[in-house]
Amino acid sequence: MVIVEDGVLLGPFGSAFHATGEPGADLLKAKSDLAIAIYTTIGRIGITQKEAAARAGEKPARISEIVRGRFNRYSLDRLIRILNALDTDVTIVMQPRDESARRITVVAASGA
């Protein structure tokens, strides 16, 4: 099965993280999606990374790391808290797992 996400062909694995076959690929993909959401939210609301850091109670260097893709050391909870501080709600949906589905999926709401 070939997966296409946001118009990008991801191949049969679903993401570069899944392509490695490493355990934890779902978690890395979720963190990546949250980091992208932080980046796009900062742009959408028209603030600087420094202003985003102040709102989130983080050091500007931490926000810079996250938006540059160095998010691995940050927990899902911390990334979600940063989004919440930027007036963005995060909803977690639990459902029975389909054998072909990934276990963790982050989906941006329309307009986000």
pLDDT digits (tens, 9 = 90+) for 34-48: 999 999 999 999 999
Structure tokens at 21: 């076959």
Q: Give mean pLDDT in consecutive 10-residue pieces for the chain, a chain of 112 residues.
A: 45 51 74 91 96 97 93 93 95 73 63 52
DSSP of the chain: --EEETTEEEETTSSHHHHTT-TTHHHHHHHHHHHHHHHHHHHHHT--HHHHHHHHT--HHHHHHHHTT--TTS-HHHHHHHHHHTT--------PPPTTS-S----PPTT-
| Sequence ranges of the domains in the chain | 24-112
Pick the CATH number of 24-112 from 3.30.70.3450, 3.10.290.10, 1.10.260.40, 3.90.1150.10: 1.10.260.40
Q: Report the C-alpha gap between 31 and 79 in whole angstroms.
A: 7
